[in-house]
Amino acid sequence: MYGKDENISEDRMIRQVLAGDKDAFRLLVENYQNLVAHVVFRMVKCREDREDICQDVFMKIYQNLPNFRGQSKLSTWIARIAYNTCINHLEKKRALVSDDLLIENYVSENSDDSVHKDIEEGDIKEKLTALIELLPEIFRIVITLYHLEGMKYQEISQVLDKPEGTIKSYLYRARQLLKVALEKKYYKEEFV
């Protein structure tokens, strides 16, 4: 039996999961549940669907773990499964958002007064989180993987199956949109 804080190597954990050790799989879930939740919660807006998708991701991890060859980090492989599961879910719901939308258009077309009220209230972290939620999907996921999960460009490139240059561009564009939105929203308030 594994203690919650027990630190075993990824390779050993994978071998034990493949050998049918349920405690090792529980440990794998505990170690990567935040990563999966970050990806799913940034991509899927519908709260009712999020828990089911997270469970689906871990079922896919369990089913596909024999195919993991170690060519990337386990976290990168898991993030890729989470990302692809979300994409499949969104395609079924036909809810994909074009990554070329500007934040102003997205906000005006897809938000209500409660979102604006949420942005106005609370501390800077809440304000920034609310603004990130208004970004197009691809920008939300890149910001999340880079800043919250600490992934490098190469890892994000593997997760999203896009060139590193594209990932750098998405991250730059996402930051620019956030900067513009912050300046537009809060610069006016400070000097009015």
CATH code for the domain in which residue 146 is found: 1.10.10.10
Give ∠ CA 155-107-133 in degrees, rounded to 5: 35
3-state secondary structure 25-49: HHHHHHHHHHHHHHHHHHHCCCHHH
Give ∠ CA 147-187-168 in degrees, rounded to 5: 30
Q: Residues in the chain with pLDDT < 50?
A: 1-6, 95-104, 106-107, 110, 118-121, 191-192
Instruction: Please report the pLDDT score of residue 170 as a whole number.
Output: 92
Tokens standing for residue 94: 């036909």
Instruction: Please report the pLDDT score of residue 191 as a whole number.
Output: 46
* Residue finishing a domain among 64, 96, 128: 96
Instruction: Please report the pLDDT score of residue 188 as a whole number.
Output: 55
Tokens standing for residue 72: 């990337």
Instruction: Please report the pLDDT score of residue 124 as a whole number.
Output: 64
Tokens standing for residue 22: 């349920």
Domain tally for the chain? Answer: 2
Instruction: Please report the pLDDT score of residue 123 as a whole number.
Output: 60
How many angstroms separate the CA atoms of 60 and 77, rounded?
11
Q: Clarify whether residues 53 and 91 are in a common domain.
A: yes
**Whole-model pTM?**
0.63
Q: Clarify whether residues 102 and 192 are in a common domain.
A: yes
Cα R_g (the chain), whole angstroms: 19
How many angstroms separate the CA atoms of 96 and 98, rounded?
7
Range of the domain at 17: 1-96
Q: Clarify whether residues 121 and 137 are in a common domain.
A: yes
